[in-house]
Chain A
């Protein structure tokens, strides 16, 4: 070091020791608004478009009707649309769709015909109207095993068959287990209804009922003998196309509305089936049915089995579970490892099992037809209101995050991400570009988003004054724009305000219903408490003129609660959640609203565009968005997290979903040490241009067809789809890197276009 430098440094030390250094930590430089999109050209494009992340090209080969009506089946009911034949006493059925004469059956064929590779047990299952499972206690090892019993397992089984109006009833007492139940099968206009009334079930002392499934092989298909698929409403909607025997071998069982986390602690990444519906196709756009679980859906699962070497049929059915088994931990170690003595649920679930089948013929016999049939059913039962969405005006969801608690130097501090004034600025600015802004303000109340105080009626001082808050609600909740305040009446964080004894739900093993968050532990609330919290929030806020609420958790989180001696099962919880959102003083926007909440929801803010990607799936299809098309505002995933912006934007257009964004005034890096760590990009300064661009791309296409139902969706070639709307508009989406052609229409590479009827 030179002498000169030494002097210089000594002087620095001398004179600057006390001077504070100003470091502009938060100085984010303005950046250009263009997004760089490197060339996407990928040699494995075909592999991608033929993977189950996309929709496959259909095989329209005509299928033969191979199911006859055996002589011992008698016609028991007939409507304008259907004929029902049944076998006495087994209750096996044949349904004739009058429109095209096609026959669907619960069993394969008459008993005299050879059934390939089926043993007696399986033959009994195939021919039974209802198959039960019951718990069998093994004295030696103190564990329960589940046994299956069909109507033909035991000679001691009694079957009392009697015709009723529109169908028949079969009262059976299973010989082995002594369990009794009644299956009622009736026609109701275009629907076939299969019911097992709860009050008809009887059990002995020894054997307890686990589950019931009706007509498990109804509509089953031998290998890939007919083109078609099973529809699974996982995420956006998934298809299981019939493939050759043994192409896939895993059997899947899905819980509607996810796993009941009051009984089973799940890892949180299981499939979420928003609607209790499934369907099977025999010959695409020829013959199909959709099975709607009308009642007992909270306890129902969907089982999908591929054709395997031992059982060469594709089949799917709904199983109603009356009792779960769990492990009762005796110690902390047990609780941690999930062990303990095995126990079964004491009370039977209050499950009135009922499935409604609607049959589809001709062009309607595909997943689009199923979605529309289900929409008709929901409209018929009053779940979906008969409203018309304003055509032409395409809304966009803009969520704002207000405050969030973060670890501070000595104590937690409140990070003001979007103050009331900033929210006003952002919404006013966006209103100049988007004709209808659906705004949701998260983390607006005291405690911020994660530690929000309940009930949600106090403003957060770090964001501004209450007057400011009410002012922005008033000004941005007008005309085509809406502003909803976010509340989550089912969840509190460990640092939120609650009482562990009164408010927090418990699991069946008496442990507190907690889940591990990113930084904090999250508690689920007792559904009864949820109702009162929601009532407090609605009454508190409506007095101030706030009538729009966005409700977290309730749409997709349905669990049973064992906090009190009188446990709340999933059906009761669903009813309570409905009650929580029934006050007409407010309108409710819900995230991924399950069917049980659809009646109360004005819009759904989180419709997925993908599935869980199980290997059994062959396609991703926009089943959920088609079923909501023209009936409810439906928003897609946040554009903030798009890894492939073009592809994901095209997916929004393809699925007919509205764009959504989550924004803050401050930079998202401030959230990296908080519970909101997964929100890593949200600053409006960097997003304002992109929001406009993505909105423009989506709205330019959807403006022609928004509010209209979807009539058909066709994969023209891998990665190219055409969507036909009821109003005559045709939307083309080309995901591939090269232009595609459909008749006169040219669809440029990686683009979406609308062709109006006049054009």
Chain B
């Protein structure tokens, strides 16, 4: 199991979130200078460079027209901004001219704005109201705190954002409202909470809960969503910073139906917007703007954070994002009060067109477009997966397999491979049967001849003599241990049939097999086989083994164990022999299995590791001559000792390097003072 853990850890670390590439020396290729780099997701599931998807068009409004704006909304070519500093909703036309202001006399701290065909809704934190204005700016009514008991006597009502769906269902994001989105009817009656986030306890809280007396369990309030958007089909999207599922698309029951398919952005989301086709746009607190396709795949990400100077297209403090029907993005800079517009490039348009066709199910038509995308960016994994699907539909399985492999799309790859394998089997099944039957007949015949004439007796005698040699016996013990472990450990301990040398040979062989396994395990079960560092893996492999042996020896000397260090070493090495014989077949097997048969792979692997664990247990029992209970205790204490040794090593390392730094800084300062 340790090895599975190791493999899992290696896989996890390679999947771990890779921060945005911040490169100082990317001058190998002179890209045209946009104020930011644009990224997409590559076959490793990490962000990689791509063509600029959105270019800054410029600042829409005149300087000074907005003061600490909080939200914006686009409707019928007009831009509505919740202009917090000026206590109003400012309305701009496409030229950036301020054409109207709404609610200047009633609004206090407007933080959210939404415009329907007839009305303008404004969430006002200061007044704790949602205002409803006619498009000409006349106040129609306000929505105050719901009076229904269901709302909760202690629940806060501080409207921060608002959207309105079909039937004038009003969705309000309340500051500190932990129960979810507040859903109001058009007449202001409370319909219930919507899309509640689940509370999650941290590990420490869970541990603490074990020890509490009574019902004083650690408190954990669910994070409250901080922003909301609504699609043309009245599907509500929410964003919640600091959670694993930051972006949610809620069905009518308030359940999340959005799965962030290819990449998780770790930053804190500030605002989100959704366009008519269901593409989702999010802006994060550090200025990352991300576009997701309707299925939740990350298409483009670019970072509009201001770096040097005041560059058109960079923002000091992003507060809101909106998108119009032409896919022009509008981002609001709370610091400078600028509305910055970004237009999609030809490349982004191409990607959108291709995904549109693909989502309509017209795979054949989309093929040419995805090929054009890949011509311009060979690392665009989503295009590869889509192309794989298109080829698959077309019956071109070999091409589909290649694309799925390059997209690291396991499901698609597995499905395609199943098709190919199925075809191969259909063609060759009869031949295989004939060979099998022929071989078994041949075997039976040979056995019968041997029984009658003893024609193979000479060969058998020679083989037995060879196997009886001590140098050979050392290694056949590894086979024997599988069938008769108690006997084998007796031979190791008492008869000394195995030597440290043979154990070392087996270990090295096992390590070679370990590398082979990492390298050859089929793509379906091993997405990123190439990420191996020889020295690191060797260090982990042998380090873990020797640490166990050493710790086990130390522990058992204290608890009346009989085994010497030599015995522990040799027996432990031999105890790993199920892996020695199992890893290679397992790795080979994984190459012809698909996800459908993954149970077969998992089962074999579990048996293999379970068997090994049993042998390790037996080795400790036999070598130290323990009872079962004693052995279990011994192994637990050994594990603990391993942890302590690692901890001590870590502490020594940390303090050592601190000491080194201290001495070095002392020397440097001394030199500095003497010189100056």
Residues of A within 8 A of B (CB): 8-9, 11-13, 15-21, 23-29, 31-32, 34-40, 42-44, 46-48, 50-53, 235, 247, 250, 252, 267-271, 328-334, 341, 343, 407-411, 449, 515-518, 522, 553, 556-557, 591-592, 606, 608-617, 637-638, 640-646, 648, 662, 667-669, 672-673, 675-683, 686-687, 690
Contact = CB atoms under 8 A, between A and B. Distances in A.
A518 B398 contact: no
B339 to A, nearest CB: 11
A738 B188 CA distance: 50
B378 A683 contact: yes
B310 A518 contact: no
Given A24-B402, A606-B30, A614-B309, A37 B346 contact: yes
Contacts of A24: 398, 401-402
Given A52-B58, A343-B676, A676-B29, 16 more contacts: A17-B592, A24-B398, A31-B372, A38-B346, A38-B349, A48-B58, A51-B56, A268-B23, A408-B530, A411-B534, A592-B30, A608-B30, A610-B33, A644-B345, A680-B378, A681-B375
A44 B343 contact: yes
A296 B589 CA distance: 71
B215 interface: no
B33 A611 contact: yes
B275 to A, nearest CB: 15
A31 to B, nearest CB: 4
A643 B52 contact: yes
A31 B57 CA distance: 33
Tell which of A11, A669, A690 has the most Cβ of chain B within 10 Å: A669
Contacts of A640: 29
B168 interface: no
B591 interface: yes
B32 A679 contact: no
Contacts of B32: 608-610, 637, 641-642, 648
B343 A637 contact: no
Contact of A268 (B25, B402, B592): B25
Interface in B216-244: none
B105 interface: no
Interface string B430-456: 001000100000000000000000000
B311 A36 contact: no
22 contacts: A9-B600, A11-B432, A13-B592, A27-B398, A31-B375, A34-B372, A37-B350, A235-B33, A330-B665, A330-B669, A411-B534, A515-B24, A517-B24, A606-B30, A613-B56, A614-B310, A638-B31, A641-B29, A642-B51, A643-B53, A643-B55, A681-B378
A17 B585 CA distance: 7
B522 interface: yes
Chain A interface SS verdict (over half): loop
Nearest to A328: B672
Most buried by B among A37, A269, A637, A683: A269
A409 B398 CA distance: 25
A643 B346 contact: yes
A755 B23 CA distance: 45
Given A643-B55, A648-B32, A25 B402 contact: yes
B514 to A, nearest CB: 12
A247 B63 contact: yes
A557 B27 CA distance: 10
A47 B33 contact: no
B429 interface: yes
Most buried by A among B43, B346, B588: B346
A686 B373 CA distance: 11
A15 B425 CA distance: 11
Contacts of A13: 589, 592-593, 597, 600
B470 interface: no
Nearest to A522: B25
Nearest to B62: A247
Contacts of A610: 32-34
A673 B42 CA distance: 10
Contact of B33 (A36, A517, A613, A668): A613
A53 B52 CA distance: 15
Nearest to A517: B25
Nearest to A521: B25
Nearest to A520: B25
B60 interface: yes
B379 A51 contact: no
Report, nearest first, the 8 A-B pairs whose CB atoms are least far apart: A331-B665, A51-B58, A38-B349, A643-B345, A643-B51, A31-B371, A669-B378, A515-B24
Interface in B509-540: 515, 519, 522-523, 529-534
Contacts of A21: 522, 591-592
A685 to B, nearest CB: 9
Interface in B298-321: 307-313
Contact of B372 (A35, A235, A247, A328): A35
Contacts of B401: 23-24
B654 interface: no
Contacts of A333: 661
B23 A44 contact: no
B23 A516 contact: yes
A126 B264 CA distance: 56
B49 interface: yes
B375 A687 contact: yes
Nearest to A683: B378
B10 to A, nearest CB: 13
B25 A678 contact: no
Given A11-B429, A610-B32, A409 B23 contact: no
B369 interface: yes
B386 to A, nearest CB: 14
A608 B33 contact: yes
B123 interface: no
Most buried by A among B30, B48, B398, B421: B30
A534 to B, nearest CB: 19
